[in-house]
Amino acid sequence: MTRTVYVNGDYLPETEATVSIFDRGFLMADAVYEVTSVLDGKLIDFEGHAVRLKRSLDELQMAEPCAKDELLEIHRKLVELNGIEEGLVYLQVTRGSDGDRDFAFPAADTKPTLVLFTQNKPGLADSPAARKGAKVISIEDIRWGRRDIKTTQLLYPSLGKMMAKAAGCDDAWMVEGGYVTEGTSNNAYFVKGNKIVTRPLSSDILHGITRKAVLRMAAEAQMVVEERLFTIDEAKEADEAFTTSASAFVMPVVEIDGTALGDGTPGPIAKRLREIYLDESRKAAL
């Protein structure tokens, strides 16, 4: 079945959607993106994604393509047109095109490119992967220094995913200066003695929308959270570990660099946080 997608004001069959070959998102990854989950046909944490999108645009001196209310309506219409009950809405904004290639930004009045599409993901909430838990490896973090901006510069994270697959694992945690930064597409945590440890916010990691919600919910559930730098060796000695992201929610981690955590199955805190997050997010969905 052909999806309906959105390109610069038009709802089109995916087979008819086009963007200029001179678009700076295509030529230079001069673009930012967001991914919003859909559960029960409703958008999860849309407000947080909209706020972060504006921050990314502002940091790159990129114009907003439309107002937030209009963006919400585009999301909702795509979900309706494509019959999405569980899945994702991908949004990308690029600096657009002035009809040629140049390192310098195009004229300030160049219209940004706005593209959205849906992905149908039945069983997104009741995920077999979450029941099993993920295995991760550690790799060196060699990305650029502004990971807090959600750009489409995802080549190294993609390579990291492939390194993990080659090792028979699910994902990679990146390490810089001896300390874990984050996963290839998620924020990283470990649990020791009922204390949740995760790296503090900075330009070194993405300011995860799911991270923010989960940490708030953990505090409300009287769980202890410590935001500090940590090493892979610390994480390997943990009782349990997990990651958070918009597309996987709370994902238990059961093995790091070949070392099983606990009994090698998803830990109780990760499982409980996943339950709380899904329950609360469904209640607040738009």
Q: What is the mean pLDDT of residues 145-161?
A: 96
pLDDT tens figures, 264-276? 999 999 999 999 9
Statement: residue 219 has pLDDT above 90: yes
pTM over cut 0.85: yes
Distances (CA, A) of 181 to 120, 215, 243: 30, 17, 12
Catalytic residues: 150
Task: Report whether CATH 3.30.365.10 matches the domain 128-284.
Answer: no
Statement: residue 194 has pLDDT above 90: no
Query: Quick one: which of 85, 93, 31 has its CA closest to 68?
Result: 93
Alpha-carbon gap, residue 240 to 270, rounded angstroms:
8
Pairing of strands 31-39, 171-176: unpaired
Q: What is the mean pLDDT of residues 85-99?
A: 96
Pick the CATH number of 4-120 from 3.40.50.970, 1.10.3720.10, 3.30.470.10, 3.20.170.30: 3.30.470.10
- The residue ranges of every structural domain in the chain are 4-120, 128-284
| Residue 274, number of CB atoms within 10 A of its CB | 23
